[in-house]
Amino acid sequence: MDIAITKTQEPKIKPTDESTLGFARTFSDHMFITEYEEGQWQNPRIVPYQKLSLDPASPVFHYAQEIFEGAKAYSLDNGEVGLFRIEDNARRMNRSADRMCMPAIDVDLQVEAIRRLVDLDRDWVPTSEGTSLYLRPTMIADGTSLGAHTASRFIYFVIASPTGSYYQQGSKPIRIRIETRHVRAVKGGVGRAKTGGNYAASFKASSNAKGEGFNEVLWLDGRTQSYVQEVGAMNMMFVVDGRIVTSELGDTILPGITRDSVLTLAREKGIGVEEGKIAVAELYDAYDKGLLTEAFGTGTAAVISPVGELTWNDRTIVLNNNEMGPISEMFYTELVGIQRQRLPDTHGWTSVVPRYRG
């Protein structure tokens, strides 16, 4: 696949203290970019990281025709760099594209673009525990008119950022408020697509919650506001009577790759898995009976994030004494072990980034 490469003449200064990276605050030296015009993705190339120049009338600004992905490149102990289920990210990108009336981009091109970018910027992959190079493939609608219809030109790009933990407190359990006023997604809507508007629409509720000391909100279903959906950047899992209970997939939640990985691992370990409709009232009931013992979120950025406190209206429940529970910890260790290729990968989830320059 022909991907032209123009290397930067002005390499940036890399962050030196990996313990203060946070989430996606600095970006590597290069980016991948290609434009869709006349029915084809054109001129795929890697260029120095740079600003985009867009017409102010571009549909992305007015009608939010935008989709994105989130993946990570991991430093391996042998000095190589690994990717995790990257084809699944590329396939999900195309499902989001379909929902948002945007063109698909060949999975092989997406994967090759990511491999080449990571190879070129491999010195940007941090090595310490809990760090990675976060990858953000993005597609936006480009154009020069304000008609409210799908665009005919699109831009796909990938940027990369050395990253540490998503939540400021690191791996300490988070505080979540169950959102009872706003809703994130409804049946038939775009909740399942990874599209920017879903996040913009959630900021009001999460910023209100943050103002009151919570890390994030847990969304409920848009119709009855009784059933658990997901958190802003992660799917939710509950440990009830030793089983993993999580919301079923559908129109309204993102089909998380980490979610699927955890459920696959759980089934293999003989841990019961229940995917279904989870009523908050039933969860609280299970807590009162001593059956709800842990809750954690799963996501690329969030990895496995234990929930220490869950607040629903005026009732807060504390899970596992506000410490990471044994099942959450087991999945964290297992998942990160596979991602960093320290544990056997029996599913073909991982790959090593080739050294294209020899």
Q: Which residues bind ligand PLP (CB under 6 A)?
A: 70, 230, 233-235, 254, 256-259, 298-300
Among 300, 305, 320, 341, binds ligand COI (CB under 6 A): 300
CB closer to ligand PLP out of 44 and 222? 222
Residue 114 binds ligand COI, judged by CB under 6 A: no
CB closer to ligand COI out of 258 and 341? 258
Structure tokens at 53: 């120049």
Structure tokens at 143: 């154009």
Residue 222 binds ligand COI, judged by CB under 6 A: no
* Bridge partners of residue 65, in order along the sequence: none
* Encoded amino acid at 102, one letter: M
Going residue by residue from 7 to 46, which x/- string records binding to ligand COI, judged by CB under 6 A?
Answer: ----------------------------------------
Among 21, 44, 45, 70, binds ligand COI (CB under 6 A): 70
Residue 63 touches which member of ligand PLP, ligand COI, none, C-beta under 5-8 Å by kind: none
Exposed/middle/buried for residue 47 (C-beta within 10 Å: 0-12, 13-18, 19+):
middle
CB closer to ligand PLP out of 46 and 231? 231
Among 86, 233, 253, 327, binds ligand COI (CB under 6 A): 233
The H or E element that residue 294 is part of is strand 292-299
- Whether the CB-CB separation of 116 and 284 falls below 8 Å is answered with no
H-only helix segments in 201-345? 203-211, 257-268, 280-288, 326-339
Residue 94 touches which member of ligand PLP, ligand COI, none, C-beta under 5-8 Å by kind: none
Name the pairing type of β-strands 132-142 and 66-68: antiparallel
- Whether the CB-CB separation of 218 and 154 falls below 8 Å is answered with no
C-alpha of 282 from chain center: 28
Residue 230 touches which member of ligand COI, ligand PLP, none, C-beta under 5-8 Å by kind: ligand PLP
Shortest distance, position 301 Cβ to ligand COI, whole Å: 3
Among 97, 301, 324, 335, binds ligand COI (CB under 6 A): 301
Residue 236 binds ligand COI, judged by CB under 6 A: no
Shortest distance, position 70 Cβ to ligand COI, whole Å: 2
CB closer to ligand PLP out of 249 and 318? 249
* Strand, coil or helix: 29: coil
Measure the CA–CA gap between 153 and 267, rounded to whole angstroms.
43
Residue 118 binds ligand COI, judged by CB under 6 A: no
- Whether the CB-CB separation of 328 and 296 falls below 8 Å is answered with yes
CB closer to ligand PLP out of 140 and 234? 234
Shortest distance, position 254 Cβ to ligand PLP, whole Å: 4
* Bridge partners of residue 143, in order along the sequence: none
Name the pairing type of β-strands 71-75 and 81-84: antiparallel
